[in-house]
Structure 1
Amino acid sequence: MTATDDRVTALTEERFERMRPFGGETPPPVDMSRLPPGPRWPSLAQSAGLLRFRHRFVPWAHRRYGDTFTVRMLPAGRPLVLFTRPEHVKEIFAGDPEVFHAGKGNAILGPIMGEHSLLLQDSREHQRARKLLMPAFNGHALRTYESLVTELAQAEVARWQPGEEFRSLDRMNALTLEVILRVVFGVTDEQRLAELRPRVRRTVDVNPAILLAWGWPSLQKVGPWKRTVQNQRELDRLMYAEIAERREAPDLADRTDVLSRLILAQEGDDALTDQELRDQLVTLLLAGHETTASALAWTLYEVGRDEEQLRRAREAATGGDDAWLEAVLKESMRLHPVIAMVVRTLMEPATVGGLDLPAGTTVGPSILIAHARADNHPDPEAFRPERFLGQNPPTNTWIPFGGGVRRCIGAGFSLMEGVAILREVLAAYDVRSLADEAARVRNITSVPRDGARVRVTAR
């Protein structure tokens, strides 16, 4: 093992210990009597319900307890208050970022993402990181990425055979992974790509039980937890190697991939360190890979089960009507939320929805319920892309990218990527869904349970 390998290993182990979800200082107790009602089950059962069976648990809790309810989570029954009305969502998104912290609510991802992750930072650290990252995701940058996304989508579709049946989730995962590796990471070396692909897949395809176990280091020595830790070490080794090589690249200033832009990003003398780059890249990987793949798989499923929707989407793909394709993608994201909720932890007492909540309480809009409320979206179980054509649903009723100062920095990239991929798929093939689908949880995302199986027929 080289000195560089030793350094990377040390950085990885330090991150595991420092970002252990249930480590550090014990938060102050929260007076549960001041919180809205909720299930009285043990916190382990409620955590499992929210993380593993959310598509049944959250609607049940909403029906049972109303528009605002409390879930008690590990460790020690920490309270999470879920809100479902748009006026309450607005209050949370508009909350003082010094009081409404997102990082602590996302702490379960800390050992993988790292302390510099945009999802885990708060206050000034979050503002600084966001300012350095924003130029890599502005309109001009997105236009430079679109041609490569289109090229990768064309290459993927060219491998399909007329009449072939497959799990669209698998194909979309493979495609969005290539987009991440080539457009975001900027990796072109085939050997490095071959090493990265399986490491990234194993990072994304993690059971929620694995995420919970980061809080108990003894578990990391056995079974799937041990394999997850080993995979993280190897992924870190590859990513730090890529960062080091990129810093020395003679054409760095001419490159347009996200990593190269982030290396060059500066505010005065302030620039991103290797650890910051690694953490932000992993964040973009987890937040922008399977989320987009799942949204695309759900979209193909919905288009493929309705002849009129297929006809309209096909005409949009061949006629350059990107506005309709984007509306189709957005409606799929409404009907099939990939992320279930957005969370903030109160650093001071605050009032939300008329409730005086104590410090230490975690609050969050339920995306699942917000997207399914009939008063937000009439006839919510119907797939109607026209909801997004020339307009958007009322503010704070469609929130797949969160909102406020912490709205997902990659929202524009995700929509651009999704439209470019749909354009190439539907211009080449008709898509037919083969069976009804339901959602299941994989890591923190919701995916089609059976992979959204489709049959493709050449145009």
Structure 2
Amino acid sequence: MRPAPDAEETKTVAYPPGPPIPALLQGLLYIRNRAQMLPPLRQRYGDVFSVQVPPFADNLVVFTRPEHIKEIFAGDPRDLHAGEGNQILGPIMGQHSVLTTDEGEHARARRLLMPAFNGAALRGYRDLVAEIAAAEVDRWRPGSTVITLDRMNALTLEVIMRVVFGVTDERTRAALAPRLGRIVTIGPLQYIGLMKPALQKYPPWQSFHGNMAAIDDLLYAEIAARRTAPDLAERTDVLSRLLQAGGDFDDEPPLTDAELRDQLITLLLAGHETTAAALSWALYELAVDPEVQREAHQAVRAEDDKSLEAVMKEAMRMRTVIPGAVRKLTRDMTIGGWDLPAGTVVACSILLAHRSPQNYPDTWTFRPSRFLDGEVEPNTWLPFGGGVRRCIGAGFSLMEGTTVLREILSRYRLDAPAGAKPERGKVRNITTVPRGKARILVTPR
């Protein structure tokens, strides 16, 4: 890694233009109101602009054009560190997480995790997802209003706990689930405070760190118990796979307990919150658009999973859950025609790419068929990032969403409750979820 430029060099850098307002205000707007902040900035400053987001990035350069995004995703991961760019996740995910590491350590973690999410593994998980989805929908009362964000969070958390841990002690899962729920429901300002160790002694951060300590105790206890499980070699859950990994890849040592903890918490949180939000948005859009819902129900009857997957993809496009994918430059680089110094954080704006009229002329039309007609161009649909850092759970998330939609649509017609206001987004931790929790009325078919 090359050293960062000295102070004198930094002063002469010409960053892309950006808003002339105080850095703290920029950071607050970016973290809490990015969907309202970013589109006007692109309109005023163009397809490349700068914002300041302390304490995460003094100079965050935002790119929105497909060719620029391709340039960043295709870049050498030694030059563009995603782990360094994702340090906002560090206080929760840990220093060994596949999301917060770079270069050799990241490559090792990804290599060990990938077998748990390949095609064969996904086929093995599908029946489990269908079983959990059916049990969830069995609890719905015909003619009732379902708070989909809450129900999808519960459903996807149950799925990911079963996939990660397998069928284990029910008491452990019952103790873990509510504690994980407390993490995903924190607000963005509380999340920012996690970067300041001095705040740990004050509420609400004090209770947050106490909750994390309890989660760690549960995870380490599960790791210890699984290491001695007599049927470890026959198990297919992620934890059991990881405990047997290592040693076969370039003589690498097995994962330590600390490494296992960080990968487990990453999978448990990233593996359910984003999918739950996407499912909530998808169900809401189907409820307010009877024609698209009719087509989706026809897909269920025809066992056309590609069309149901397109519903999930369109929900992820129009209601972007994660706003961007970031990289931190380890050397001076030219990106999109801009000469940027080492230390700059660059962001591929998923939100702006999904809302670009050049990429999607009918931006605010919920039209899943666009993903079946071949009209979606490369580097314009980015919910899972891209390049060597593309989310390893992308296939699992789409499979899970498709399976859940099939179960719900096969039994119920969805409608918006009378008098309900249109849903808007709300930032919760780092994800964008329906502000009103996407309430829908369910009527038996």
Shorter-normalised TM range: over 0.9
Contact kept, 8 Å, 1:439 with 1:449, in 2: the verdict is: yes
Q: Which secondary structure does the structure 2 equivalent of 1:40 belong to? A: coil
The worse-fitting range, judged by mean Cα deviation, of 58-67 and 319-328 is 58-67
Q: Distance in 2 between matches of 1:118 and 1:244?
A: 21
- Give the structure 2 partner of residue 15 of structure 1: none
Give the C-alpha shift of residue 266 in structure 1: 2.4
Deviations 1:283-326 (A, max 9, x none): 11222211000000000011111111111111212321101000
Question: How many Å apart are 1:129 and its aligned residue?
Answer: 1.0
Moved more, 236-245 or 308-317: 308-317
Q: Give aligned-pair identity as a percent.
A: 57
- Report how far residue 32 of structure 1 moved: 6.8
- Point out the more displaced range, 269-278 or 441-450: 269-278
Aligned partner letter, 2:443:
T
Instruction: Tell me the residue number matched to 1:343.
Output: 326
- Aligned partner of 1:245 in structure 2 is 225
| Aligned equivalents of 1:31, 1:160: Cα separation in 2 | 60
The aligned residue for residue 22 of structure 1 is none
Aligned mates of 1:232, 1:287 — CA distance in 2 = 16
C-alpha spacing 1:66/1:231, structure 2 compared with 1 (3 Å): same
Q: In the alignment, which residue of structure 2 is the partner of 1:418?
A: 401
Q: Which of 174, 177, 183 pairs up with 2:163?
A: 183
Mapping 1:258-337, distance limit 5 Å = 258-268=238-248, 269-270=251-252, 271-337=254-320
| One-letter code aligned to 1:301 | Y
- In the alignment, structure 1 segments of 5+ residues that lack a partner are 1-24
What amino acid sits opposite 2:315 in the alignment? S
TM-score, normalised relative to structure 1:
0.92
- Deviation (angstroms), 1:259: 1.3
CA distance in 2, matches of 1:112, 1:47: 20
> Normalization by structure 2: what TM-score?
0.95
Secondary structure, aligned partner of 1:103: helix
* 1:100 CA drift (Å): 0.3
Structure 2: which amino acid aligns with 1:58?
L
* Structure 2 gap ranges (5+): none
| 1:40, distance to aligned residue in structure 2 (A) | 1.9
Find the residue that maps to 1:121 and give its secondary structure.
coil
**Alignment check: 8 A CA contact 1:43 1:77 kept:** no
| 2:75 aligned residue | 95
* Aligned counterparts of 1:28 and 1:273: Cα–Cα separation in 2: 38
Q: Which amino acid aligns with 2:283?
A: L
Deviation by residue 1:342-376 (Cα, 9 ceiling, x = unmatched): 00000100111011111110001111110011111
Aligned equivalent of 2:206: 226
Confirm or deny that 1:152 pairs with 2:132. yes
Q: Answer yes or no: is 1:438 the counterpart of 2:430.
A: no
8 Å Cα contact 1:28/1:360 also seen in 2: no
When the two chains are superposed, the root-mean-square deviation of aligned CA atoms in Å is: 1.6
Q: CA deviation at 1:187?
A: 4.8
* Matched residue type, 2:88: I
Q: Counterpart in 2 of 1:449?
A: 435
Q: What's the counterpart of residue 93 of structure 2?
A: 113
2:73·2:388 contact (CA, 8 Å) conserved in 1? yes
Q: Does the CA-based 8 Å contact 2:140-2:146 persist in structure 1?
A: no
**1:90 touches 1:396 (CA, 8 Å); kept in 2?**
yes
Q: Specify the code of the residue in structure 1 equivalent to 2:426.
A: R
Conservation of the 8 A alpha-carbon contact between 1:185 and 1:281? no
Matched residue of 1:457: which SS?
strand
| Deviation of 1:108 (Å) | 1.4
Residue 26 of structure 1: how far off its partner (Å): 10
Shift of the alpha carbon at 1:28?
6.0
On the 8 A contact 2:114/2:392 being kept in 1, the answer is yes
CA distance, structure 1, for counterparts of residue 194 and residue 209 of structure 2: 9
Which residue is equivalent to 1:66? 46
Q: Is the 8 A contact 2:327 2:345 kept in 1?
A: yes
TM-aligned CA distance change 1:390 to 1:253, over 3 Å:
farther
1:31 and 1:371 mapped to 2: Cα distance? Answer: 34
User: Hey, what's the Cα distance between the residues in 1 that align with 2:166 and 2:373?
Assistant: 35
Distance in 1, Cα, partners of 2:291 & 2:55: 49
Structure 1 distance, partners of 2:425, 2:443, is 26
Contact in 1 for aligned 2:24/2:53 (Cα 8 Å): yes
- The offset of 1:122, in angstroms, is 0.6
Equivalent position of 2:153 in the other structure = 173
Residue type of the alignment partner of 1:42: P
Q: Could you tell me whether the CA contact under 8 Å between 2:56 and 2:87 is conserved in 1?
A: no
Which stretch shifts more, 335-344 or 253-262? 253-262
Greater Cα shift, 63-72 or 383-392: 383-392
What is the DSSP-based 3-state SS (H/G/I as helix, E as strand, rest coil) of the residue aligned with 1:53?
Answer: helix
How many Å apart are 1:202 and its aligned residue?
0.9
1:433 Cα deviation from its structure 2 partner: 2.1
Quote the residue 1:198 is aligned against: 178
Cα deviation for residue 388 of structure 1 reads: 0.7
Q: Does 1:257 align with 2:230?
A: no
Give distance in 2, aligned partners of 1:26 and 1:397.
32
Amino acid at match of 1:443: N
Question: Counterpart of 1:178 in structure 2: which amino acid?
Answer: E
Please, which moves more after superposition, 282-291 or 155-164? Answer: 282-291
Secondary structure in 1 aligned to 2:204?
Answer: helix
Q: Please identify, of 315-324 and 328-337, the stretch whose mean Cα deviation from structure 2 is larger.
A: 315-324
Contact 2:60 2:345 in 1 (8 A): yes
CA contact (8 A) 2:326 2:346 kept: yes
How many aligned residue pairs are there?
435
Code of the residue aligned with 1:118 in structure 2: it is V
Deviation, 1:329, is: 0.6
For the residues of structure 2 that align with 1:274 and 1:227, how far apart are their CA atoms? Answer: 24
Q: Which moved more, 1:153-162 or 1:60-69?
A: 60-69
Which deviations, in whole Å up to 9, do the C-alpha atoms of 1:230-275 show, x marking residues without a partner? 0000000001111111111111111121111121122424221111
Q: Tell me the CA shift for residue 276 of structure 1.
A: 1.0
Aligned counterparts, 1:102-141, within 5 A: 102-141=82-121
